Every structure is written in structure tokens, then in C-alpha cells.
Amino acid sequence: MKKISTRALTQVALLVALTILFNGPLSIQAPIVRTLNFSFLPIAIIAMLHGPVLGGISAGVADVLGFFLFPGPWPFFPGFTVSAIVTGAVFGLFLYKNGSWNLTGKPSGLSHNTEMWIRVTLSVVVLTVIVRLGLNILWLSIMWGDGFLVLLPPRIVGALLMIPIQVLCIGVFASERLYVILGGRRAV
């Protein structure tokens, strides 16, 4: 991993703090989605700006610090930290430098904006399937002793409701217009 500048470290630290706040005191208990929070957004921004390695590390650090700063009614379980690390890494794989990688090696023929929305959507769907409906339910099954398939159906509805919310929020921050508003420039 390359050397991290003071500016990048400050950005990451502030976004990790924001993640902890969104996941702790600023989260909302909702009936269908269980907990509605926007902790995914700062992690996606870290991964977008700094890549999958720093995205994964930051998400893991935010998970551990968040648990000890704002403990919930359940014990610490390291599986959820693994889920957080996977989340940051997957966001980084799809969104880093606006997804400058291309599987075919040929120009896609899509506009930058269209390709960005496709990458954001794919990242959220992949994370929903792998982390939210896969790993997180596995960890709950291990913690509570309930069967995986018993925990899955009620969580599918909440996960499906969160997909468009996450895509929209991350897409707004990933859009080129936001970079221009903030005085930045496109990463690719």
C-alpha cells in the first residue's frame, strides 16, 4: 500500500467518525428494515477516494470503534467486523477512481455518468447479497443459534427496500457534478 498523505488520513478519520455516528446515535429503528442508517455512505466515499484496501481497513476500524463507543444490547462479534471490511473492499473495487478498470480492456461505449450509475448499482446489489443477506445472517445464526433460513425471509424485504436508497445516496456522491461543486476534478 502506498504512503498515505496527511490530507488523506484526515479525510479518512473524519469519514470514519461520521460512520460511527451514523451507525450509533444517528441510526433509526425502523419496522421493516430493522435499523435505518447511512453508515454505508462514508465508507463508500472512503473507498471511492482511496481504494479497496483503505476502504476495508477503515470500515473495520469504524466497526470496532463504533461498538466500543456506542455498545448495543448484544455482545461484540468479530464476524460483523469481517462484514464491514468486505463492504469497504467491495465498494473500493467497484468505485475507486470512478471504476477505471474495465474487464474487457475495450472502451465500454457508455457515458461516464451511465457507467458510474451501473457500478454503484452493481456494488450495492453485490453487497446486499454477499454481506447483508449472506454473511450478516450467518453471523446472527451463529450468535443466536437460529437457523439461517429462519432469519433470511424477513430480512430480504428490508434489504430490497434499502437497495434504491443506497444506490441513490452513493450515486449522488459519486457523480461528477458533486466533484465540480466541491472544486475537485474527476479521478480518471
SS3 state of residue 111: coil
Per residue in 108-129, pLDDT (tens digit) is 667 777 888 899 999 999 999 9
How far is it, in rounded angstroms, from Cα 42 to Cα 141? 28
Give the three-state DSSP class for 114: helix
- Domains in the chain, CATH or no CATH each: 6-181 (1.10.1760.20)
Using DSSP, state whether 28 is helix, strand or coil. strand
Q: How far apart are CA 9 and CA 15, in angstroms?
A: 10
* pLDDT for position 28: 77
The residue written with cell numbers 465498494 in the block is 91
- In this prediction, residue 37 carries a pLDDT of 84
Task: Please identify every stretch of the chain with a pLDDT value under 50, giving residue numbers as ranges.
Answer: 101, 103-104, 182-184, 186-188
Distance separating alpha carbons of residues 153 and 13, to the nearest angstrom: 36
- For residue 122, give the amino acid letter: L
